[in-house]
Chains A and B, each alone.
Chain A
């Protein structure tokens, strides 16, 4: 019973902090007494999108770490985001600026393409988790190097937006796109959460999980599908935002343990908080300039990660 109360307390705390940061993010900006238009058209979509993307990245990071029983996994490990980057850069330079309310359409297509390849590979029964993981990493390298080639051979002016996007960019999201992302991420979080028993068992490693009754191949397929959709959605809405997906799950595990029934919802809320705070910093720290939000999350996230690793021995 004590356990239930402490769980409830940790949910309430997380949601309260999220609401507080949301309100602060809405208040801070270039104009101090912002009109309703500015709030609704600029800050609300941006803060909503930051919440959704932060939640999506943290939850997919937590699920991937369990799926591969590897604390160093994060949403970008599987290379799906490199597919997005490739799609975005190709789209921008070929003039295919197909957008859905600020979501980069070609980035989502790129993510789907890479996720599809990975999914097809995961269908083969003899492919183990390590092979799958390494395939993802290699596809990531491949995608990144193709992006680099394209950037080197392109006219710099035309693709500047795409380059900014590579460092994380929430400036383009509009209200309906943000709402779409928010509900998409929420639905995917629920579907991933529903597999908490399997995720818990997978923490012990694949072989132990099978011996405890986890149908590894079907569970892995479903999780890869859900996580890929989540990453595709997050990356096409906000670009490449690093570290949230790696660091937030470790922080949350420190406070509530590794079991996913609690871990997944709390990762979602604390991921949202982390990205709302980072984005607020990114657009207000060096006014009138705006930092790419991916740079801020890495600047804060990298030392934070080192801190939990060395000082608190969060991971071995």
Chain B
């Protein structure tokens, strides 16, 4: 029995370094699941996303691990085939060249190929509009990317990932610069995507956001998985003490939704 998408025994050591950044991390992602990767700075969350999406090669010395997509080896696929299956959303969109928001979103269609003479097929056009409307950036599609705020750029990056044709989204801190309104709307949007069959891995420093939107989570510390399970099982005071031993954290349910929320405890 193989999962929809699974990473097994991911170990990653950067080129010419001794100590691995990730050690034997495994997880499985079901269809329609939203999984949060949680951990302090430098715990290996971004590295994990890049390793499982194929951006970091696992062929080097001190690296190992298998990634499976519907039971077959994902990392042996070409970049183009990978892009059609998994979309990675990084935290920064900062091209050095003038580009309009809709042009950036259209770049997400690169892996779909197409005619050399027509930049955009009718399907491309529909996909771009659909994605930009869903991520609330259709209204500023004609604006230069450089003129957008950090949060607006993140909406554009999300739209670009949605048009790739991939049903797995790896989102790396991509909600961090959005205002409260957009965070709520995008969270809702991610949940409805999940109901439509998309699977999402979310890296978020903001644990309160993660606990609101994700169904399950993984706690990472120093490149190792220290806990995993449903959000209500892993967002507990004792588990968080493993991750952030220096900080006095209190966990209490959100009065409106009941999801676990984190507060700073009394400081002496």
Contacts and interface: CB of A to CB of B under 8 A. Distances in A.
Interface of A: 65-66, 69-71, 125-126, 194, 196-198, 200-201, 203-205, 207-216, 253-254, 257-259, 261, 315-316
A126 B100 CA distance: 33
B96 A316 contact: yes
Contact of B83 (A198, A200, A213): A213
Contacts of B57: 125
Given A212-B110, A214-B110, A261-B119, A203 B90 contact: no
B99 interface: yes
B96 A212 contact: no
Interface of B: 15, 53-55, 57, 60, 78-84, 87-88, 90, 93, 95-100, 103-104, 107-108, 110-111, 113-114, 116, 119, 146, 160, 164
Nearest to A66: B97
A70 B103 contact: no
A258 B79 CA distance: 23
Given A197-B110, A253-B98, A207 B55 contact: yes
B119 A212 contact: no
A194 B115 CA distance: 10
Contacts of B55: 207, 210-211
A208 B90 contact: yes
B95 A203 contact: yes
A200 B79 contact: no
Given A71-B97, A204-B107, A261-B116, 17 more contacts: A66-B97, A196-B116, A197-B113, A201-B107, A201-B110, A203-B96, A203-B107, A208-B90, A209-B110, A211-B90, A213-B81, A213-B164, A214-B79, A253-B98, A257-B98, A257-B99, A258-B103
Given A69-B95, A212-B83, A213-B80, A200 B110 contact: yes
23 contacts: A70-B96, A125-B57, A196-B116, A197-B110, A197-B113, A200-B107, A200-B110, A201-B107, A203-B96, A203-B99, A204-B93, A204-B107, A207-B90, A211-B83, A213-B79, A213-B84, A215-B78, A215-B80, A254-B98, A258-B97, A258-B99, A261-B119, A316-B146
Contacts of B108: 212
A212 B78 contact: no
Most buried by A among B83, B110, B116: B110
A67 to B, nearest CB: 12
Given A204-B93, A212-B107, A257-B103, A194 B116 contact: yes
B83 A204 contact: no
A248 B82 CA distance: 36
A316 B147 CA distance: 12
B153 to A, nearest CB: 12
A258 B107 contact: no
Contacts of B83: 211-213
A315 B96 contact: yes
A215 B104 CA distance: 19
A254 B107 CA distance: 19
Contacts of B114: 197
A125 B90 CA distance: 23
Given A126-B15, A253-B97, A211 B146 contact: no
Contact of B53 (A211, A253, A258): A211
